[in-house]
Structure 1
Amino acid sequence: MARHGFSCGIMAVALVLSLVYSSLVVPSSAELQKLEHSIKDDGSLSLLVVGDWGRKGAYNQTHVAAQMGKIGKELNIDFVVSTGDNFYENGLTGITDEAFEDSFTNIYTAESLQKQWYSVLGNHDYRGDVLAQLSPVLQGVDSRWLCLRSFVLNAGEDDPHLGLANRLRADLDSALEASRAAWKVVVGHHTIRSVSIHGDTKELHASLLPVLKAHGVDLYVNGHDHCLEHISSDDRYRSNVSLQA
């Protein structure tokens, strides 16, 4: 993915947020993370997106990694975005879990992939030690790794954590309102719309999509559905790109 004409760097790939519908909740304050990444001298920025990949090389992971290396070199990518489900089946057991190197460091070895990886968390990651993926210790093992705190929300009306969900949406609304990025991209794990096996996530369609549309977000990038989709609505709003390896 290459974009030209950025007026400034990209902000958390304009903004990185993972809103996942689940019964699990990570106790955390409603604080979104925002990152900036510098652009090339010609004003362009190139990246790869991959999701649902952590298989210790199985399920064609090594083959996909090899192709990513070739495309990454061709595009001269600046970084990689991971949309979650980074380590199957049950996340990491801790910061010393060998799965980190078996599924990441020892797989994505191409020179072109030795760039910063910005990762969010998926539902399989939440089955394990979430704090391990967020730990700076893993950056000492592989400096490419940066996992961004995400928030798992149960959007049921009687959910005691509904207040947190509302605050997160309000924070996202404020962040997008304040953003002056030429391109606004939001990254999460779960789908908003999908024609594949998991289908739409009705909670995100009802609560997240209106916020994205209100602020002219160009792209919502997600994983979860193990397919490649490009979905646009009738009003030509680019509402969802579903990507995975």
Structure 2
Amino acid sequence: MNMKFILALALLISSTVNANTETYDDAYYAKHSIASELPTNDNDWTFLVVGDWGRNGHFAQRDVAKWMDIAAYQFDAEAIISTGDNFYDNGVASVNDPYWQSSFESVYHGPHLFLDWYVVLGNHDYRGNWQAQIDYSNISRRWNMPAQYFDKRITIPDGASLHLVFIDTSPLNPDYQHEEKYRETQAQDANAQLTWFKRTLETNQDADWTIVIGHHPLYSSGKRFGKNAAVRSVIEPILEQYHVDAYIAGHEHDLQHNQPAARTVEHFVSGGGSEVRATAIREFTRFAQSSAGFALVRVNTRQIALEFINEQGEVLYQYIIATTQEP
């Protein structure tokens, strides 16, 4: 019998046993709740954002997944977004790779995590079979990656419109042009993506809100402080030109909100899905913490409300982007 199959089966059996130790009843969710100070609006369209998570349940990955499930239940989430680096260190080999079970299916097993996952590729995903992550969309109902870059237009319950744009930042990153381990990123047609990106934003300018999701942050208060200029020079002018409301990335293994002077776009990092790294306060930092966790985002006509939740279910930070339009 194929050894990879045996390994995958063993991991699946083990994870299934572990997954069934919790009883997900009303008492469980009454005991485990998130103390958000922001009011819940029935007209919100709510989603979670997690990044840099694919480590077979190691570090804080399982704890983050637990509180993601609680948040999805408590705030009636509609979707989950991944900012990339879905499988460490070298992506997946195929749609049958055991990592699908050990890093994704068996970790995000909570009953309220079976939502639509909208996923982008990270640099580590390009070190494996990145096409397999697109192809897995045909196997898993909840995994949605129709292409390397794509968008989704959503009508919020109160009638407002939200435009989510998912970009593939690794091929757009000039820093990867001379790195052998990321050679595959430079085999992609970056110009075609940029043309699509601009056209997509142009044709959806009537949306009430626009949020762009990518893997690489354009500003960092963490490990890569001062090392974002190249990718920023490619992406930021487009974000500013089309008045994007927020850019959410991963890559840095922490939680951040950066707002540089003379810029209109709000920059967030949600890369605390598993392992964490150190952060610091920079001149553009509004919030930065070396913590595992995820973002909870609620959108309605009047505002985008974002909260960072850590792996213990604690609210670390809250921020509201309010509309400038008359109601």
TM-score in terms of structure 2 length: 0.57
1:201 to 228, 252, 255: 228
Counterpart-to-counterpart distance in 1, 2:73 and 2:173: 40
Tell me the CA shift for residue 186 of structure 1.
0.7
Higher strand share: 2
Counterpart-to-counterpart distance in 1, 2:100 and 2:54: 9
Counterpart-to-counterpart distance in 2, 1:193 and 1:80: 23
Identity fraction in percent: 33
Q: Quick check: 1:189 aligned with 2:215?
A: yes
Indicate conservation of the 8 Å contact 1:88/1:124, yes or no: yes
Equivalent positions of 1:1-245 (< 5 A) are: 42-136=42-136, 139-140=138-139, 142-147=140-145, 148-150=147-149, 151=168, 152-153=171-172, 155=174, 164-179=189-204, 180-199=206-225, 200-235=227-262, 237-244=264-271, 245=273
Counterpart-to-counterpart distance in 2, 1:234 and 1:110: 41
Indicate conservation of the 8 Å contact 2:115/2:142, yes or no: yes
Counterpart-to-counterpart distance in 1, 2:124 and 2:268: 20
Indicate conservation of the 8 Å contact 1:155/1:162, yes or no: no
Counterpart-to-counterpart distance in 1, 2:101 and 2:172: 29
Gap regions ≥5 residues in structure 1: 1-40
For residues 61-115 of structure 1, the C-alpha deviation after alignment (integer angstroms, 9 at most, x for no partner) is 1111001111111111000000000011110011110100111111111122110
Tell me the CA shift for residue 218 of structure 1.
0.6
Indicate conservation of the 8 Å contact 2:49/2:80, yes or no: yes
C-alpha distance 229-168 of structure 1, shift in aligned 2 (>3 A) = same
Structure label with greater radius of gyration: 2
One-letter identity of the residue aligned with 1:74:
Q
Counterpart-to-counterpart distance in 1, 2:85 and 2:188: 26
Tell me the CA shift for residue 154 of structure 1.
5.1
Pairwise CA RMSD: 2.3
Indicate conservation of the 8 Å contact 1:91/1:127, yes or no: yes
Count of aligned positions: 201
Indicate conservation of the 8 Å contact 1:91/1:124, yes or no: yes
TM-score in terms of structure 1 length: 0.75
3-state SS of paired residue (1:112): coil
3-state SS of paired residue (1:65): helix
One-letter identity of the residue aligned with 1:78:
E
C-alpha distance 155-44 of structure 1, shift in aligned 2 (>3 A) = same
Counterpart-to-counterpart distance in 1, 2:73 and 2:263: 32
C-alpha distance 184-226 of structure 1, shift in aligned 2 (>3 A) = same
For residues 99-141 of structure 1, the C-alpha deviation after alignment (integer angstroms, 9 at most, x for no partner) is 00111111111122110000000011111111111104x542x
One-letter identity of the residue aligned with 1:231:
N
